[in-house]
Homo-oligomer: A and B are copies of this chain.
Amino acid sequence: MKHATHISDLGPEVIEQILARAKEWKGQPHPKHLRDKILGMIFFNPSLRTRASFEAVMARGGGHAIVIEAGSGTWKLEDRVGAIMNADRPEHLKEAVPVMSRYVDVLAVRSFSRLTSDEDDNADAVLRSFQKYAAVPVVSMESAREHPCQGLADLMTIEECFGITKSLPVTLTWAPHIMPLPKAVPNSFLLTAAARGCDIRVAHPPGFELHDEIRAEAEALAKNAGVKISYFREQDSALTGARAIYAKAWGPATASRLSGESVTQHNDWMMTARQMNLAAPDAIFLHCLPVRRNVEVADEILDGRWSRVIDQAENRFHVQRALLDWILN
């Protein structure tokens, strides 16, 4: 049974295959490749793009999506094995997941980081419980560790602009925010760009390191593709000459957070035209959305010639369609 919970479930070959299919189908009439299929979507956290794009994928493909918001209109769900369930979570994943498996053909789950520690994110308990208890394929709609559909859409967008990604200089830069955010999106961009052989630069202030295990996994993918990943503690050098710049806010590394690093410092890391002008003349700007304008990124970028964020969001539809096709057909 195929799952798509993490980039490692796919690997470079399947990623290539999914991106090829996504691009092939983008300009064509919608195939009815999901006829009579049901996708069960379970959200522990809010969503706009993910929900609408997956629901559109199912409808366009001839299938149907069931949307469940856990804890809003349904029961809160317990994931701890052996729990004495005498508090506010009246249903265990051990029941909810197998039951949902009986009604649908594939289960998609959104379960954000609890922002307790990088180790907790990496363990990805809720999503891994779904995978363990489900009798059908499980797809991540962003978990504590990764957001693989976003990573796929990111790379599809870059490839649409530049054709080939092998050795393409791309930069992932940290951005300021009003609160600590999960690292699933930067993790997935790093892993997917490495799998596609980009020349990757990652810039963030000291204390905002990505987790060791993610970096090692990306390193192995980059090595396999014959490219390298460079890390920078200041922004300008990392941006210089880049063809694609991906800005994203994320929280401090565990140890740093404990030592008081704050996301509201480093406001000079907000992306403006000045920084974009350091990049290659044809550089594009990416962000997974939602974006806090004039906090993470200035209006002049989002409303300017660099931005591909709307295409990038549209591509969520295309890669998810290809992903479900790979899983179900």
Contact = CB atoms under 8 A, between A and B. Distances in A.
Interface of A: 30, 36, 38, 40, 43, 46-49, 51-53, 55-56, 59-60, 63-64, 66, 68-69, 72-75, 78, 82-86, 90-92, 94-96, 98-100, 102-104, 178, 289-295, 299, 302-303, 309-310, 313-314, 317
Nearest to A85: B292
A36 B47 CA distance: 24
A92 B289 CA distance: 10
Contacts of A72: 72-73
Contacts of A66: 51-52, 55-56, 59
A10 B32 CA distance: 35
A225 to B, nearest CB: 30
A59 B59 CA distance: 11
A75 B103 contact: no
A115 to B, nearest CB: 16
A64 B293 CA distance: 32
B68 A293 contact: no
Contacts of A299: 82
The dominant DSSP class at the A interface is mixed
Contact of A90 (B69, B74, B290): B290
Given A52-B68, A78-B293, A91-B291, 8 more contacts: A36-B60, A51-B73, A55-B64, A56-B104, A82-B294, A83-B293, A85-B293, A91-B290
A294 B85 contact: yes
A167 B96 CA distance: 33
Closest 7 CB pairs of A and B: A91-B290, A102-B314, A59-B64, A85-B292, A56-B103, A99-B313, A84-B294
A18 B310 CA distance: 34
Contacts of A92: 290-291, 293
A309 B48 contact: no
Q: Which of A66, A69, A291 has the most CB of B within 10 A?
A: A66
B310 A43 contact: no
A48 B60 contact: no
A317 B291 CA distance: 37
A69 B73 contact: yes
